[in-house]
Amino acid sequence: MRRFWIWAAAAAAFAFAPVAALAQQPIIIKFSHVVADATPKGQAAIKFKEVAEQLLPGKVKVEVYPNSQLFGDAKEVEALLLGDVHFIAPSLSKFEKFTKVLQVYDLPFLFADMQAVDKFQDGKVGQDMLKSMEKKGLLGLNYWHNGLKQLSANKPLLAPEDAKGVKFRVQSSDVLVSQFQAVNANPQKLAFSEVYQALQTGAVDGQENTWSNAYSQKYQEVQSDFTESNHGLLDYMVVTNAKWWNGLSPEIREGLTKAMKEATAVNNKVADDLNKEAKAKIAASKAKIHQLTPEQRKKWQQAMEPVWKKFEKEIGPDVIDAAQKVGNSS
């Protein structure tokens, strides 16, 4: 009988050995995004990998998949919910079907500059919005900047009347559609990858985007005039699967949170630097950059301000009020 118990104990130890070994294997974390490594988002994702693996040696392994290698724009949120990836960083406009509160970031002329954006996002309302989709399985961890958007067309856009009848490409956002309808323009929802050809062929006449996105896509080749309007925000949210995140140990969550903070700082600095460089390069091209006077900017703002009221109920008047107070007080 004694021999039996010795044998049983040995067998049990052997049986559980692989389990113990498996427990020591690093957690594989897949970070998927749709842009190149050289972009702010791409550089930030690489930084996240480096810092996470430094802070949690042997405990996590971060795999970064740029350029839609795993999933493109249309599939990445679904993949995250299914657990096929663990981190993605879509533009805020992509979350419209999950929550309406994030539409506040699409409202025109709400933020005076990027410092104002930071104030709002770092405050209570902005931080609470990161959790606005948690019940639907998505948890926001940080905001990543791209920058403020500028207008372009094949004619100067100095007054709201100049936009009448112009076909503008917009992201898939009802707020952005209404923004251009407010100045009697003709908004066209179109994928980012299709914009250059659409501008080239005349399928659309103009667009809105950050300096860095405009230059990287060579819009200055097919647009004669840019207006430094700074009228809207293009930002991303790094999101994870809420169930997966909450199932991690406190140690792993803390390490990943620290890594994400460092990655955010890298993203935002690179974004700011690239926008400054891109603006200078567009200014040196054949295209012309127009500056709005304070009076001209005010007319654009007044023309588009009814959009705030239109979406006030969906977004929440308290959210818009908080953004307006903080966003214009930098």
The domain that contains 75 carries what CATH number? 3.40.190.170
Long-range contacts at 13-21 (CB < 8 A, ≥ 24 apart): none
Specify the residue for token string 């999950």.
98
Helix axes 40-55, 250-283, angle to 10 degrees: 150
> Is residue 84 domain-resident?
yes
List the chain pLDDT tens, one digit each, 330 residues.
Answer: 555 444 444 444 444 444 444 457 999 999 999 888 888 999 999 999 999 999 999 999 999 999 889 988 889 999 999 999 999 999 998 898 899 999 999 999 999 999 999 999 999 999 999 999 999 999 999 999 999 999 999 999 999 999 999 999 998 889 999 999 999 999 999 988 899 999 999 999 999 999 998 998 899 999 999 999 999 999 999 999 999 999 999 999 999 999 999 999 999 999 999 999 999 999 999 999 999 999 999 999 999 999 999 999 999 999 999 999 886 654
Give the model's pLDDT for residue 227: 98
Inside any domain, residue 270: yes
Predicted pLDDT at 16 = 41
Per-residue pLDDT, 329: 52
Report angle CA 139, 141, 144 to the nearest 5 degrees: 125
* Residue 10, in any domain of the structure: no
Number of structural domains in the chain? 1
The tens digit of pLDDT for each residue in 289-309 reads 999 999 999 999 999 999 999
Distance in angstroms (rounded) separating the CA atoms of residues 175 and 109: 12
State the Cα–Cα distance between residues 205 and 223, nearest whole angstrom.
8
In this structure, is residue 110 part of a structural domain?
yes
Phi-psi region of 178 (alpha: psi -120 to 50; beta: other; left: phi over 0): alpha
- Of 195, 144, 150, the closest CA to residue 40 belongs to 144
Domain that holds residue 38: 21-327
Enumerate the β-bridge partners of residue 138: 241
| C-alpha to C-alpha distance for 75 and 71, rounded to whole angstroms | 6
Is residue 9 assigned to a domain? no
Does 264 fall in a domain? yes
pLDDT for position 196: 94
Cβ proximity of 222 and 203 under 8 Å: no
- Kindly state whether residue 5 falls inside one of the protein's structural domains: no
The answer to whether residue 248 sits within a structural domain is: yes
Record the tokens describing residue 330, joined without a space: 């930098």
pLDDT of 72:
83
What's the pTM? 0.86
Distances in Å between the alpha carbon of 38 and those of 150, 199, 261? 22, 25, 19
Instruction: Please give the C-alpha separations between residue 39 and each of 135, 162, 307, in angstroms, as whole numbers.
Output: 31, 33, 31
